Structure 1
Amino acid sequence: MNTDVTASGEALRHHGDAEVRGAGSGLTDLAVNVRTGTPPAWLRDRLAASLESLAAYPDGGPARQAVAERHGLAVDQVLLTAGAAEGFVLLARALPADRPVVVHPQFTEPEAALRDAGHRVERVLLRPGNGFRLEPDAVPDGADLVVVGNPTNPTSVLHPAAALAGLARTGRTLVVDEAFVDAVPGERESLVPLLGRLPGRTVVLRSLTKTWGLAGLRVGYVLSDPETVRALAHHQPLWPVSAPALVAAQACSTPDALREAQAAARQFAADRDHLREQLARLHSAGVREATDTPEGPFLLVRHPRAALLRDRLRELGFAVRRGDTFPGLGPQWFRTAVRDRATTDRFIVALHKALEE
């Protein structure tokens, strides 16, 4: 690992949707990490019914209560947001930070939000030779705000909760992006059970985008202590979350929805195993995974000519996410979403062909 202070912000706002925007219906999307076949029919019905009440101003109370109960927290520990991305903007604007550190490679929006708020961001770069695993002592002692993803996008590494807890200390804000943790069976290694038990300030961000297919609705939430939640809420406008998004937050927090999410997480794990088995057969062609213990609904893949492979895959009908816009990675990386076995088999055929060429 090393620590890198940088003033460069280019490409931080490149996201997977750019790989498929305007591509037409013929391109199979492996660039965006949203579960296919979503939103489910029952959720679409709930959202459609919510349109009848659009004349009224949204009331976030019931949704906030539902999220709090889902996590076993008090209502004043929950802040509903217009997607997890808004949470990063609020954190950057509302909380003091003299030496913010972002652990990379990871989702780039936290750093972009900090930069937009005028912060000079320091990076801790995890090493591919170590499987991009976190070593808490790599984070500078003087860092007073630390951001890390778990499981991390794009590496698919799930850091142990104990390692993350080791980053907590008095005078520091520890921010953990758990946008993909509901895709991990049992939500293992989540830091939510440790809220209120660690020194300093701990903030966990969640998203409903990935498992439920709600990227266009913009709904997520922040979990923390009541004082932090109030500080963040002070920077939100009135009625920051729409009525349909509030309905989604409430609906996706029910016991039935949680059981469906866990079933989806188990399916992700099985489909990921199948994808890994197919990729392992391409080792002789230079294809390598970033980690031998992936836990997210996506894989980070390395190949010496990954940029050319990505272009050729696009010609063959598959969009994968470029890796060089993630700090700590380069053009030899790409990320692919985990899909069903049939889609994976078609992708592997295309990847074989691209490699042969």
Structure 2
Amino acid sequence: MRTDGSAASHLPGGAGGADGHDLRHHGDAEVRDDGSALVDLAVNVRADTPPRWLRERVAASLGGLAAYPDGRAARAAVAARHGLPVERVLLTAGAAEAFVLLARALEVRRPVVVHPQFTEPEAALRDAGHEVERVVLRPQDGFRLDPAAVPEAADLVVIGNPTNPTSVLHPAGTIARLARPGRTLVVDEAFMDAVPGEREALAGRTDVPGLVVLRSLTKTWGLAGLRIGYVLASPRTVAGLERAQPLWPVSTPALVAAQACMGPQALAEAAHAAHRVAADRAHLVAGLEEFGADGVRVVGPAEGPFVLVRLPRADAVRRQLRTLGFAVRRGDTFPGLDEEWLRLAVRDRPTVNRFLQALDQSLSLTRP
């Protein structure tokens, strides 16, 4: 695989990672089984969520489970939140379902995925029988996007913003330069609500041809187990994806949660949380930079609720951290990264301080 920022290998067939990357490995695998004994810095769901008011709203919906789900109110709430007509909104069982729908419903000849990023888009495309090209961004460039690296003939381009796992926030104008007539441009904004002011967001834009924006409510609101997200796209694209969905794809509790999270108080709470995450992230980055003499390097400036770090013997350090009670996300399952990378979720300062002490000990114990 080439890693010079240009188009890389074609990868037909399943998602098992024929090139050595396990595309179906996600952060929850790091805390499965013995996860109750570990402090979780592997999963990018905000800690201490869902909040009590949201749990109460979801619990109150359980009395209506005998009726089939009706998504009209939630869809209208999402549309209003982004200033769009409801025909431009599709509710999904998490953003992950949207990737499957895109892979199955769109007529695609030359899909390109910009890596490193969330691996599910490529896995879904490959499962649907598509040959996938990769554009792999380079660490020496700060994993920054060069639109010229994307093949002109690509008719589907997928990129995350801010990108998981690099925490890079690409300028909206740079991403918009990827748009072309006849091309679908998919922007995964699952973590955009963790960016103060949601600067560089493309959600709500209708002037970018072929734009499809995906949002998730699972990260900021702690709803990974409920599965709720949405697609913002042209009415034609939304209608095509909706036809590929099964009947009643989103449960009543998830619909209630979606509507609740679109309200003014919820949006204000999310905005406050984004500023708090930014402050906690700065504290984490400052602590990590203290280990520069040990070869620890932080990708920056980080803008998401997680940071990507490179360090020698990262896999050994990760295993040692587990013995000390901390789970972190291995990086080598992301195309463009190898075993020297780890992703760390941002947590509150006391948790970060304990983690930094454990990291110091782990680095000492794994030195040659």
- Residue 115 of structure 2 corresponds to 104
Per-residue CA distance 1:245-299 (angstroms, 9 max, x = gap): 0000000000100000000000000000000110111001100012x21100000
Structural mapping, 1:161-240, within 5 Å: 161-194=172-205, 196-199=206-209, 201-240=210-249
Distance 1:132 1:23 in 2: 33
**How far 1:6 sits from its partner (Å)?**
3.8
Distance 2:35 2:298 in 1: 29
8 Å Cα contact 2:204-2:232 kept in structure 1: no
**How far 1:5 sits from its partner (Å)?**
1.4
1:56 to 51, 64, 67: 67
- Residue 303 of structure 1 corresponds to 311
Please state whether the residue corresponding to 1:25 is helix, strand or coil: helix
Is 1:334 aligned with 2:339?
no
1:2 to 6, 13, 18: 6
- Residue 250 of structure 2 corresponds to 241
Please state whether the residue corresponding to 1:55 is helix, strand or coil: coil
Per-residue CA distance 1:194-216 (angstroms, 9 max, x = gap): 2x2123x1100000000000000
- Residue 94 of structure 1 corresponds to 105
- Residue 72 of structure 1 corresponds to 83
Is 1:25 aligned with 2:36?
yes
**Which deviates more, 32-41 or 6-15?**
6-15
Query: Residues 97 and 24 of structure 1: is their aligned pair in 2 closer, same or farther, counting only changes over 3 Å?
Result: closer
Is 1:37 aligned with 2:31?
no
8 Å Cα contact 2:6-2:150 kept in structure 1: no
Please state whether the residue corresponding to 2:37 is helix, strand or coil: coil
Per-residue CA distance 1:333-356 (angstroms, 9 max, x = gap): 000000000000000000000111
Query: Residues 60 and 260 of structure 1: is their aligned pair in 2 closer, same or farther, counting only changes over 3 Å?
Result: same
Per-residue CA distance 1:311-353 (angstroms, 9 max, x = gap): 1001111000000000000000000000000000000000000
Where structure 1 has 5 or more consecutive residues not aligned to the other structure, the ranges are: none
| C-alpha RMSD of matched pairs (Å) | 0.8
Distance 1:26 1:12 in 2: 26
Is 1:282 aligned with 2:291?
yes
**How far 1:24 sits from its partner (Å)?**
4.2
Distance 1:58 1:351 in 2: 47
8 Å Cα contact 2:11-2:133 kept in structure 1: no
Where structure 2 has 5 or more consecutive residues not aligned to the other structure, the ranges are: none
Q: Which amino acid aligns with 1:57?
A: Y
Is 1:262 aligned with 2:266?
no
Distance 2:294 2:190 in 1: 33
TM (norm. structure 2) is 0.95
**How far 1:4 sits from its partner (Å)?**
1.1
- Residue 128 of structure 2 corresponds to 117
**How far 1:186 sits from its partner (Å)?**
0.7
- Residue 150 of structure 1 corresponds to 161
Is 1:141 aligned with 2:152?
yes
Q: Which amino acid aligns with 1:133?
A: R
Per-residue CA distance 1:139-196 (angstroms, 9 max, x = gap): 00010000000000000000000000000010100000000000000111011242x2
- Residue 322 of structure 1 corresponds to 330
Distance 2:242 2:157 in 1: 20
Distance 1:105 1:138 in 2: 14
**How far 1:126 sits from its partner (Å)?**
0.2
Distance 1:6 1:336 in 2: 30
Number of aligned residue pairs: give it: 354
TM (norm. structure 1) is 0.98
8 Å Cα contact 2:189-2:201 kept in structure 1: yes
Please state whether the residue corresponding to 2:342 is helix, strand or coil: strand
